[in-house]
Amino acid sequence: MNKRLCYLLILFIPLFVKAEQKKEVDLPPLHHVVKVRPSSSIQVPKHYPLNDKKEIDCQTCHGIDDIEETPWKDVDKNAPDFFRDGPYSQLTDFCYGCHQKKSYERPNIHQLLDENGKYKEEDCEYCHDKAPDPEDQLNTSELTFRLPPEILCFGCHLKTPHLNALNHQVKPDNEMRKTMREAEKRLNIILPLDKDEKIMCVTCHSPHQIGLIDQNRPAGNQVADTDLDEGITYIEHPWNQVFQSDKETRLKQLAKSGNEVHTLSYQRIKTEVLLRASARDGTLCQSCHRFER
Ligand code: HEC
Ligand code: HEC
Ligand code: HEC
Ligand code: HEC
Ligand code: HEC
Ligand code: HEC
pLDDT at position 20, please? Answer: 38
pLDDT at position 259, please? Answer: 38
Sign of torsion over alpha carbons 222, 191, 219, 106: positive
**109 CA → ligand 2 middle, Å:** 35
pLDDT at position 9, please? Answer: 40
For residue 112, give the ligand 3 atom closest to its CA. 38
Q: What is the pTM of this model?
A: 0.65
Beta strand spans in the chain (E): 233-234, 269-271
Verify whether ligand 2 is closer than 6 Å to residue 25 (CB atom).
yes
For residue 136, give the ligand 3 atom closest to its CA. 29
pLDDT at position 284, please? Answer: 95
Residues 99/105/111/113 CA torsion (nearest 10 deg): 50
pLDDT at position 96, please? Answer: 84
For residue 282, give the ligand 6 atom closest to its CA. 37
Verify whether ligand 6 is closer than 6 Å to residue 280 (CB atom).
no
pLDDT per residue as tens, the chain (293 positions): 344 434 444 444 444 333 333 335 567 777 888 999 998 878 999 999 999 999 999 999 999 988 888 888 888 888 889 999 988 877 878 888 898 765 556 678 999 999 899 999 999 999 999 999 999 888 777 899 988 888 888 777 766 667 677 778 899 999 999 999 999 999 999 999 999 999 999 999 999 999 999 999 999 999 999 889 888 887 644 444 444 455 555 555 554 444 333 333 444 788 999 999 999 888 999 999 987 55
CA distance 178 to 183: 9
**Which residues, in sequence order, are bridge partners of residue 56?**
36
Sorted by sequence, the CB contacts under 8 Å of residue 225 that are 6+ apart come out as 271, 272, 273
Sign of torsion over alpha carbons 130, 134, 135, 136: positive
Verify whether ligand 6 is closer than 6 Å to residue 204 (CB atom).
yes
Q: What are the φ/ψ torsions at residue 278 (nearest 5 degrees)?
A: -75, 130
- Helices (H), ranges, the chain: 2-21, 58-61, 91-95, 121-124, 174-187, 201-204, 240-256, 260-265, 283-286
Sorted by sequence, the CB contacts under 8 Å of residue 183 that are 6+ apart come out as 189, 191, 277, 286, 287, 288
Q: Are 199 and 284 in contact (CB under 8 A)?
A: no
CA distance 164 to 275: 15
**62 CA → ligand 2 middle, Å:** 7
Verify whether ligand 5 is closer than 6 Å to residue 132 (CB atom).
no
Verify whether ligand 3 is closer than 6 Å to residue 90 (CB atom).
no
CA distance 107 to 110: 9
pLDDT at position 41, please? Answer: 78
Sorted by sequence, the CB contacts under 8 Å of residue 212 that are 6+ apart come out as 112, 113, 119, 134, 220
Verify whether ligand 2 is closer than 6 Å to residue 264 (CB atom).
no
- 128 three-state secondary structure: strand
pLDDT at position 11, please? Answer: 44
Residue nearest to atom 13 of ligand 2 (CA): 31
CA distance 203 to 185: 15
pLDDT at position 87, please? Answer: 86
pLDDT at position 106, please? Answer: 66
Q: Are 112 and 209 in contact (CB under 8 A)?
A: yes
**Cβ-based neighbour number of residue 88 at 10 Å:** 16
Verify whether ligand 5 is closer than 6 Å to residue 110 (CB atom).
yes
Sorted by sequence, the CB contacts under 8 Å of residue 180 that are 6+ apart come out as 172, 191, 287, 288
Verify whether ligand 6 is closer than 6 Å to residue 266 (CB atom).
yes
**277 CA → ligand 4 middle, Å:** 12
Q: What ligand is nearest to the CA atom of residue 273?
A: 5
pLDDT at position 14, please? Answer: 40
84 membership: H or E segment, kind and range: none
Residue nearest to atom 12 of ligand 1 (CA): 38
- 87 three-state secondary structure: coil
Sign of torsion over alpha carbons 259, 260, 264, 267: positive
